[in-house]
Amino acid sequence: MSRSARSLGRFTSWLALCACGPAFAGTVTITPLLGVGTNEKQVAGLRQLMASELEFMPEVSGVTEAAAGPPNAACLTSTSCLGGLVQGTDQLLTGAVAITGSNFALDLVLYDKATNKVVRRKTATVPADATQLANSMTGVLREVLTGEGPKDEAATPAPGSFEDGDSEEGGFAPGAVMAPSAADPENLSF
């Protein structure tokens, strides 16, 4: 076997190991979600948000937005139906959305074209409020793509867990802002 053939073989093996990990999504087609009790504007907004979030995920190398989504809920469990929705990408992200009070109930499906299998199905309840929805969508999509839950954010410090101005060494804590004393009217300016 020639040296270049061995190198190519090693590279192909390395590439296969990297590409098959649980966090690999490659290119993704995203469809409009099936709406249950929602309007077109809500469904379009959700898809736009999801596509935008996918664009910034390191696991995704490209996003294609399909014009049509699954024709019915049965399609979400049918690999032949899901396979027909993939548009030249590695995987398909689709699902359904319903309104439950002030929240959206999502049922998301990740289908892999190469294996012709549903890789993951995730249900999640997210706030319908635009800001809260945007804040929660990254974690939901990451879990759909990788199977891993949202990464733990730094714990929010409890109230009163910081000292007010003075550090233990007797100086000021770095970054502390000292407000003028209310007892000294000369320090106040309006």
Q: What is the pLDDT of residues 138-151, one digit of tens each?
A: 999 999 999 887 66
- The least confident of 72-76, 106-110, 156-160 is 156-160
What's the mean pLDDT in 100-127?
Answer: 95
What's the confidence (pLDDT) of residue 79?
96
Residue 149 has what pLDDT? 75
Q: What is the pTM of this model?
A: 0.67
Question: Are 26 and 89 within 8 A, CB to CB?
Answer: yes
* Among the ranges given (5-14, 61-70, 118-127), the one the predictor scored with the smallest mean pLDDT: 5-14
Say what the pLDDT of residue 35 is: 93
CATH number of 24-146: 3.40.50.10070
Q: Which residues pair with 122 in a beta bridge?
A: 108
Residue 17, pLDDT above cutoff 60? no
Domain boundaries, the chain: 24-146
Mean pLDDT within 35-59: 92
First to last CA, the chain: 84
104 near 128, Cβ under 8 Å?
Answer: yes
| Cβ neighbours around 66 below 10 Å, total | 18
Higher-scoring residue by pLDDT: 154, 70: 70
Cα–Cα separations (whole angstroms), residue 124 to 33, 108, 127, 155, 173: 14, 8, 10, 23, 42
User: Average of pLDDT values for 154-181?
Assistant: 49
- What phi and psi, each to the nearest 5 degrees, are found at residue 11? -60, -45
Percentage with pLDDT > 70 across the chain: 65
159 pLDDT band (50/70/90 cuts)?
Answer: low
Query: Is residue 104 scored above 50 in pLDDT?
Result: yes
| pLDDT of 87 | 86
The three-class DSSP label of residue 67 is coil
The mean pLDDT of 19-43, rounded to a whole number, is 80
Question: What rounded mean pLDDT belongs to the chain?
Answer: 78
